[in-house]
Every structure is written in structure tokens, then in C-alpha cells.
Structure 1
Amino acid sequence: MLDQPHFGRRLRKLRLERGLSQAHLVGEGLSTGYLSRLESGERRPTERAVAYLAERLGVDVSTLTRPEGSSLTEVLAAAASAPASVDNAAALARAVEDDDREDPAARWQALWLLSRSDRRDGDHEGELARLVELVELSDLLEAPELRVRSRTRYARCLRALGEMEKAEPAAVEAFDLAREESLSVADTTAALMVLISIETEMGSMEAATRHVAELERELLPSAAPVQAAEALWTAAMVSNRQGDHTAARTRLETALELLDGKDDLVLWTRLRAAATAAALQMSPPRVEAAERWLDEAGSVIELIGTPLQLQELHALQAHLSFHKGRLDEARARCGALLSQEGLRLSYRDRVRLSVLEGQLAIMDGRVDEGTAALQELGRQAAQSKNLDLAAHVWQSLATALTDVRASEAEAADAARKAPGTGP
């Protein structure tokens, strides 16, 4: 329980983290000489000393006395060699917490794996905290590939959180670094795709269009099939926002044909879900294609999907039900998701689901309530520079109000024409 030198290392780490000198830590209860020997591992602590030091440090006694775990390097090795079905995130997180930061490369790798786990689980806040340190460590290591990959992932996470003003400069920096350092097509393409997505959502269509041309001209021909499929999907999103639905449809279908489920089942599924969302946003919506793609994705997600993927699937099913005129089904799916604790959806997906809820409220006759909700969503999206999303909110509000007024006019006209209701 009180083994050295583990106790001494942990004690010194906790003291330094709090910015305390040895004299400040011991106070009047212990001598600095005794503390020095404890930290160096020369003396075994007494239980009284442990209790006193824990109180001075503001931690539980168990924080000082818990058994020493495996080193970060050992845990990383175990994680790398474990079967894909084994989740090492908890052990890796403990190792990072106990890490003495003497090996920044190992710490970078551990944080990278943990941030990937956070992203898979939809824990964008947790992912962001790790990515902030990843960016710092990559600068310390002065490794161009790590600097670009950290910033690319950081920008993508900020985008998922709806923080576009921070996301754009991070993506620009990642892409510029990739170009300056002449990095691989894979790293450069990944950075550029994130930048294009952010520009599109911020309404910077001229810049997004220019970068799509660069992507297709310089990077796409050399990209591996998996990344080429992702790049074509990114380009399709730009075409969709510009109203060129023919080009968007062609790019989407090419992307889906490039990828076989045996190549990358996760991406195969994600692209079909993304294609579903794009098809429903076209004018007019391609409902049949969306339903086909969603059925293909859903068959996999229902079997092996993560909680986040299941929520994304159910959100898309709610939107599809709405477009098919199954309003009760859309209402039930939407309400179930938005009332769920631990909603993991990205900012964009949450707003789109809330827009659907507002549209349904207006169609149910709760016009003032639905209108107020959509107006607030529109203001928030515009304020956070999600201009494409803000445009979707305002367009949805206008369409819902127009449909309600048209229905009211039809009802009034039918009432006037009914027998016995004339003047």
C-alpha cells in the first residue's frame, strides 16, 4: 500500500501540479528533510504522514496510496496488440492520468487513441480537451505529420460542436502546414476536406468551391479509394449547397460505388447515412434514394452501431418519416430523441432535429410556439457563424408557415363552398 519509490513519485507530482514548494507543503506538521526523503523514495511513509500530506494536498488518501499501474508505454503496447473487440480506453485513460510526461511521443499516441474513442462515442467535449493537448504536444515534438493531424482533428471536433469561428483558422493552419511540409496526399486531403466542410457551413461558398476544384484536380487522382470516396462526398455537399443537385447526385453515387463494405464497413455505413441526409436536403428531396441508402446503413448500424451511430440513424429516420408524410412517426421519433438523456449528436444534427420539432409544432396548430422556437434556433446558428444551418432554419420556418396558411385557406374555401354555408 505504501510502496516506494511509487509513493514518492506520486507525492512529488501532486505537489508540483499545485505549484507548492516542499516548505509550503509540510507546513508545521513535517520537516522538509523528511519530505525530501519521502519524495526520493528513501523513506517509507507512516500512515499519519500520508493522512497529513493528503489533507495538505486536498486529495483523498487513496490518491497517494493506490498501487502503481503499468507505465503508459506498456498500456499502449497492450492496446496496440489487443483484438479489435477489446476496449482499452479506461486503462489508457488511467495511464495518461498517472503519466509523468517524460515521453511526449507516447503521451501523444495515447491521447490520439483516446480522442478517437471519444469521437466514436460522441463525447465531443471530452475529445476537445484531449485535442488541445495533442496540438501542444505535436508542436513540442516538432513533427509535421503530428501537427497537421492534431489540427485537422481539432478543427473537425470544433465543427461538430458548432464553434465555427475557432474551427476555420485551425483547419486553415492544418492545410497550410500540410502544403508547406509537402506531406502525403492522405494528410493533405484530410485537412482540405475538413476546411471545405467548415467553409460550406459558414456560407463561404466561393472559397469552398475553389478548394473543391483543388481537391479534385490535385489530390483526388492520387487518393486511395476510401479517401477518394470521402472527398467526393465532401465535394457533393458543396454542390448541394449551391443548388447543383445533379452534380451532387453524381458525386454521391460515384463515392458510394467506390467503396465496398469489405474495404471499410464503418465508412461504407457513414457514407450511406451522409448520402441520405444530402438526398433529403435536395430540392425536391430524393426520398426514394434516401430511403434505400438509409435501409442499407440501418441494417448494419442496428447490429453493430455505437450509441452515437444509433442516435444518428434514428434522427435520419425521423427526417425521412417527415418527408414521406408520416407525421405521427416523425413526431414520435423526434420527441424520443430530444428527450433522451446523454444526447450525443453533433451541434448541426441537434439543430436540424429541433427544426423538425418546430415544424411539426406549427403543423399541429401550435404556430406561435413553433415559430418562436425556430426563430431562436436561427438566431443562435447565425450568431455562431453556422450560416448554412441558419439559412436552413429560416427556410424551414417560411415553408412551414406557408403550408399552414395554404391549408387554412383551403379549409376556408371548402367551408364557403359547402351546402348551406352561403351568404
Structure 2
Amino acid sequence: MPHQPAFGRRLRKLRQARGLSQTALAGDGMSTGYLSRLESGARQPTERAVAYLAERLGLEPADFEEPAGGSLAHALTLVASTGSQAAMDTLREALAAEGHEAPVLRWQALWQLARQRRLQGDHAGERADLEELVRLGDEVGLVALRVRGLTRLARCLRSLGEITDALDAATTAHHLAREGDLEVEDHAAVLLALVSVEAEAGRTPDARAHTDELVGLVAGRTDALWAEAMWTAAAVRLRQGDPVAAEAYLEEALEKFSSGEDLVLWLRLRLAAAELHLQKLPPDPEAAERCVTAAEPALAFVDTPGLRQDLTAIKADLAFLTARYDDARVLLGELAEAEPRMTYRTRVRLDILRNQLLIRSGDDRGIQGLRALAEQAQADANLGLAAEVWRILAESLAETAAERPAAPGV
């Protein structure tokens, strides 16, 4: 049986969330005066009163109990003050129990929970939270909330390799941002999402134009938003075949962005720089190794499954490029045993590496595997990735032909 005064506070909150007056809730089965005394905590509720009020509100009697971790607002305060896993668990429990809370409050809770999923590399879980967040944003009708939700959803869908849906979400967010009177931070965040998806979709000219707009928008800053813009600009330049400009953007970010601002982003920038040195032509394994060496100690402070797997994937690529094929196989084996917390692109990159190792061992299944990866990426509208896989396949075929002994008499 609920006890006062907690019961009265919760009863009032549930009634007001449904837009009911005391008279409307009391109906014919309870006096308004008695209901008022229940809400004030002056009267202890009976089982009959609780059952009646639950029926009127469309609830179960147990819904009058406060969640174990307190209200949703209290759980949000805990997350803001501690950011711990326990606080996040409390927030998710409160969100599930507090379906009556204002949509804006629920939106804030989902934003925090989706962010945690992203940091953990749980992109499927992040997507579920973000889809509900976008729905709530539409319900509230605030342009800023709609734009932020669609922006994060676009980036999540890109991580999952769902490029067509990601492009739809990013384009919608961009249109809303241009029509609304939003802050620079919101416009820049939209452009970050739009550029990354356009690049994956093979829309390089559009990505380049929006990158220039983004870089101009954050000029003069050195915060996390600026660092992400530099990272994104580097990725676009690399795909345009301009590794010098790409490296210049990343080097500026590495030099000016402080780990005290955002240690996770600081670490990811170094992993991005390592990837750049491995992907440019010709690759620079020594520079990549220096980036890995600088990044690895930071994992002691912000270690998550996603970051750990990203680092291991880079080490596997590095081992392959330096002809340490057995080391590459061991690292791939470690990743195969763990629950994947990587983006779609990283998972494909690892599949590419597995097939390259097969080719190295004389197994023609590697050629077939690379061809299947390229065709799948193309079917998924991930044209940038498809082009990369086709290039690697062509190089592998050329290397295989060059290494095979000539036929007798040739």
C-alpha cells in the first residue's frame, strides 16, 4: 500500500500529466474534498481508493509507487552530477516507469541514454533510443529538438551502414536547421552528420561544399565541435585523393584540441590519424604506430568496448601492412571472440583484412570474399566504401598475378 506524502505527490503528478482537474478525476465515485486531502498527504489512501484512482487514470495500482531510483527528474540530476553507469541504469529504469512525464523531460532522458549507447559502441541500442527521441521531438514540435534528434539518428544510421536512411535523416535535419533560428552549434552538428553521410554515399562534390561551409562556421574555435569539423574535413579530403590536405586538417586538430576538453574525442582523433596514415597511398605505418602509441594510454581512463575494438582493428591493419601476418590473424581472432561494438565501416574493413590474409595464404576464397563485400556495399548505397573495396580487390589480383611463377616456355 502506498504511503503518504509520497502517494499524494505522485497522484497529483499523474493527474496533472493527463490534464485532469480534481473534479474530473474524482468523478462520481469519490468526493473532490477527499481527493484533495489525498493529494496533500492529509489522508492515507485505502486499497479501494487506490484501485479506483488507478482505474480512472488507466494505470495499475503499483504505478503509484515511486521508481526505486526516484523520479525521472531526479535520475537526470544524478546523471548530470556523476555520469556513472549506476546513474545511467537508474535513469533507464525511471524512464520505463515514468511514462506520464512531460515529453521534453523524456526527450532529455533518451538523449543521455543514447549518448551512453554511442560511447559503448552499441549502435543498435542507440538507434532504438534515438527513434523514440525523434518521435518525441515531433510531438513537442520544437525545431531545435527535432533537428538534434534527426542529426544524431543520421550519424547512428551511418555507423550501422544504412546510408539511404541516414541521408534522409540528415537532409531533413539540414532543411529544418536552415529554416529555423538555431544556434551555430546546431547548424554545425547537422553539417557534420550530412557531410559524413554524403561522403559514404559517394556524393563527394556535395560533401566538399558542405565541408567548406562547416569549416567556415567553426572558424576561430578550438572546442570539441571544431575538432570534429577538422576530423570530418580530413576524411572528405582523403576520399577526394588529397592526403596532404587531410593530414593538415587532422594535425591542426591534434595540436590545438586539449584532452581536458573531451578525452574520448582526443583519443578518437589519434585513432583517426592512425587510420589516415594507413589508408593514404602509399601508407605510412610508422606515423600510424606513433598515433597508436599516443592514444593507447588514454584507454586506462576512458576504456569502452567500442574504443578498445577500434584500437585493436587499427593494430591488425598495421600488422598486415608491416608483413606481420600471424600477428594480424591473432588480433582478428581476438575481435571475433568479442561482441562487436564497431561501426559498419570498421567491420567491413576487418572483413577486407581477413580476405587479404586468405589471399596471402594462396586461398582464392579471399578474392571471392572481397568481390562479395564490394557488391554488398554497392547494393547498400555505400558507394565510397564500395569503391575502396574494388580498389583493394584490383590491387590484390595484380599482386597475386605478379607473384605467380610464369608458365613453362613463357
Q: In the alignment, is the contact (CA less than 8 A) between 2:263 and 2:302 conserved in 1?
A: no
Q: Does 1:347 align with 2:325?
A: no
Q: CA deviation at 1:391?
A: 1.4
How many percent of aligned residue pairs carry the same amino acid?
42
| Counterpart secondary structure, 1:221 | coil
The one of 230, 236, 239 aligned to 2:237: 239
The one of 364, 367, 371 aligned to 2:364: 367
Q: Does 1:379 align with 2:375?
A: yes
Q: What is the distance in 2 between the residues matched to 1:391 and 1:404?
A: 20
Q: In the alignment, is the contact (CA less than 8 A) between 1:363 and 1:400 conserved in 2?
A: no
The one of 38, 44, 47 aligned to 1:44: 47
| Counterpart secondary structure, 2:113 | helix
Q: In the alignment, is the contact (CA less than 8 A) between 2:191 and 2:214 conserved in 1?
A: yes
Q: Does 1:308 align with 2:311?
A: no
Q: CA deviation at 1:274?
A: 0.9
Q: CA deviation at 1:83?
A: 2.7
Equivalent in the alignment of 2:334: 336
Change (3 A) 1:380 1:302: farther
Q: Does 1:401 align with 2:397?
A: yes
Q: What is the distance in 1 between the residues matched to 2:228 and 2:396?
A: 33
Change (3 A) 1:161 1:63: farther
Amino acid at match of 1:232: M
Q: CA deviation at 1:108?
A: 0.8
Equivalent in the alignment of 1:78: 78
Equivalent in the alignment of 1:26: none
Q: In the alignment, is the contact (CA less than 8 A) between 2:95 and 2:109 conserved in 1?
A: yes
Equivalent in the alignment of 1:358: 355
Normalised TM-score (structure 1): 0.80
| Counterpart secondary structure, 2:282 | coil
Equivalent in the alignment of 1:131: 130
Q: In the alignment, is the contact (CA less than 8 A) between 1:185 and 1:222 conserved in 2?
A: no
Q: What is the distance in 2 between the residues matched to 1:107 and 1:303?
A: 30
Q: CA deviation at 1:359?
A: 0.6
Amino acid at match of 1:215: L
Q: What is the distance in 2 between the residues matched to 1:324 and 1:127?
A: 36
Q: In the alignment, is the contact (CA less than 8 A) between 1:163 and 1:384 conserved in 2?
A: yes
| Counterpart secondary structure, 2:260 | coil
Q: Deviations over 1:127-169 (max 9, x none)?
A: 1111111112122222222221111101000001111100012
Q: What is the distance in 2 between the residues matched to 1:145 and 1:64?
A: 32
The one of 254, 274, 293 aligned to 1:295: 293
Q: CA deviation at 1:86?
A: 5.5
Amino acid at match of 2:244: T
Q: CA deviation at 1:330?
A: 0.9
Q: What is the distance in 1 between the residues matched to 2:263 and 2:67?
A: 39
Q: Deviations over 1:38-59 (max 9, x none)?
A: xx997527xxx9xxx9xxxxxx
Change (3 A) 1:74 1:64: closer
Change (3 A) 1:287 1:380: same
Q: What is the distance in 2 between the residues matched to 1:90 and 1:265?
A: 23
Q: Deviations over 1:92-120 (max 9, x none)?
A: 11111111333111111111111111111
Q: In the alignment, is the contact (CA less than 8 A) between 1:185 and 1:223 conserved in 2?
A: no
Equivalent in the alignment of 2:173: 174
Q: What is the distance in 1 between the residues matched to 2:224 and 2:67?
A: 42
Equivalent residues in 2 for 1:239-318, closer than 5 Å: 239-318=237-316
Q: What is the distance in 2 between the residues matched to 1:123 and 1:62?
A: 35
Q: CA deviation at 1:262?
A: 2.4
Q: What is the distance in 2 between the residues matched to 1:320 and 1:182?
A: 46
Q: Deviations over 1:215-262 (max 9, x none)?
A: 23x303254433222111111111100111111111121121121222
Amino acid at match of 1:184: E
Structure 2 unmatched ranges of 5 or more: 15-28, 30-38
Compare 141-150 and 204-213 and name the one that shifted more: 141-150
Change (3 A) 1:378 1:3: farther
Change (3 A) 1:237 1:264: same
Q: In the alignment, is the contact (CA less than 8 A) between 1:72 and 1:99 conserved in 2?
A: yes
Equivalent in the alignment of 1:106: 105
Q: CA deviation at 1:67?
A: 7.0
Q: CA deviation at 1:62?
A: 12
Change (3 A) 1:261 1:68: closer
Q: Deviations over 1:2-31 (max 9, x none)?
A: 77969x98xx9xxxxxxxxxxxxxxxxxxx
Q: In the alignment, is the contact (CA less than 8 A) between 1:302 and 1:310 conserved in 2?
A: no
Q: CA deviation at 1:173?
A: 1.7
Structure 1 unmatched ranges of 5 or more: 13-32, 34-39, 54-60, 417-421
Q: In the alignment, is the contact (CA less than 8 A) between 1:335 and 1:357 conserved in 2?
A: no
Q: CA deviation at 1:301?
A: 1.7
Aligned residues: CA RMSD? 3.2
Equivalent residues in 2 for 1:119-268, closer than 5 Å: 119-216=118-215, 218-268=216-266
Change (3 A) 1:330 1:68: closer
Q: In the alignment, is the contact (CA less than 8 A) between 2:67 and 2:94 conserved in 1?
A: no
Q: CA deviation at 1:170?
A: 0.8
